[in-house]
């Protein structure tokens, strides 16, 4: 998976902003019930933070702070709005990323830049992982040593499973998606969503990322 330059990402954001303006917003509101209207903005939540998409300019802002948004955040919001299918609905069928529709070509990159990094970063840091997940409003799961369900978007929940290492075995992890995830967004966007999740979790945990991430 070749990574574009920063300039290319910015160019893509501009192109997606223009694409957004071609969408029928009434249809969007029907396809994505999590979308609401507040004044001039369409509102949604992404990893427990409130974002607004200006209805006439397409500009995306965070409604909770004035910090610049990453290109990943903007692209993931735009691609959700663009790719969401009319028939998309949660299927209660959890699976690893590599088993999702059309995901297999990106499976090795997901393992190396997401799962391996997740395992390495939080090895020996379960307490910090738990604290970060609680800060993000994640739901505790009875799976693995530290399992949590966290919403990227309301329509795209993710299950983070973590097994800490010991003297014999290294830490291991997995991230599960509902089968419907690729009905809501392009499969490649799920890689950047997972990347952003790791970044946010590590920041809240107060520990540095270990390993080479997608970004």
Same domain for 119 and 78: no
Does residue 186 lie within any of the structural domains? yes
Domain annotation covers residue 54? yes
75 domain residue, yes or no: yes
Structure tokens at 38: 């507040």
pLDDT digits (tens, 9 = 90+) for 82-122: 999 999 999 999 999 999 999 999 999 999 999 999 999 99
Instruction: Tell me the CATH number at 143.
Output: 3.30.310
Show Cβ contacts of residue 26 under 8 Å, excluding neighbours closer than 6 positions: none
Q: What is the pLDDT of residues 56-67, one digit of tens each?
A: 999 999 999 888
Backbone angles phi and psi of 213, in degrees to 5: -85, 170
Spatial contact of 146 and 126, defined as CB atoms under 8 Å apart: yes
CA separation for the pair 120, 134 (Å, rounded): 20
Indicate whether 41 belongs to any domain: yes
CA distance 47 to 149: 11
> How do residues 140-195 score in pLDDT, each as one tens digit?
999 999 999 999 999 999 999 999 988 789 999 999 999 999 999 999 999 999 99
Q: Do the domain assignments include residue 32? A: yes
Pairing between β-strand 156-163 and β-strand 60-62 as defined by DSSP bridges: unpaired
Residues 196 and 139 in one domain: yes
For the record, the structure tokens of 177 come out as: 């998606």
Q: Does residue 72 share a domain with residue 99?
A: no
Residue 34 in contact with residue 155, Cβ under 8 Å? yes
Within this chain, do residues 72 and 118 fall inside the same structural domain, yes or no?
A: no
Considering the domain architecture, whether residues 72 and 105 belong to the same structural domain is answered as no
Domain-embedded: residue 215: no
Q: How far apart are the first and last CA of the chain?
A: 11
Domain that residue 55 falls in: 6-83
**Domain identity same for 151 and 192:** yes
Does any domain span residue 65? yes
């Amino acid at each position: 998976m070749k990574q574009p330059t920063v300039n290319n990402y910015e160019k893509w954001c501009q192109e997606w902003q223009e694409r957004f303006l071609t969408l029928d917003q009434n249809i969007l509101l029907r396809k994505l019930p999590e979308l609401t209207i507040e004044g001039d903005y369409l509102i949604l939540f992404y990893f427990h933070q409130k974002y607004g998409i200006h209805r006439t300019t397409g500009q995306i802002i965070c409604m909770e702070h004035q910090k610049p948004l990453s290109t990943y955040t903007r692209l993931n919001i735009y691609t959700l709005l663009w790719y969401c299918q009319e028939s998309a609905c949660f299927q209660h069928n959890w699976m690893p990323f590599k088993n999702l529709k059309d995901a297999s070509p990106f499976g090795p990159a997901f393992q190396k830049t997401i799962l391996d990094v997740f395992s390495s970063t939080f090895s020996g840091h379960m307490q910090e992982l738990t604290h970060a997940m609680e800060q993000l409003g994640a739901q505790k799961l009875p799976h693995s040593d530290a399992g949590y369900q966290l919403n990227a978007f309301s329509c795209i929940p993710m299950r983070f499973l973590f097994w800490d290492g010991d003297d014999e075995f290294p830490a291991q992890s997995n991230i599960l998606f509902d089968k419907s995830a690729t009905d809501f967004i392009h499969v490649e966007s799920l890689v950047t969503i997972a990347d952003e999740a790791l970044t946010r979790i590590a920041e809240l945990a107060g520990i540095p990322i270990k390993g080479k991430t997608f970004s």
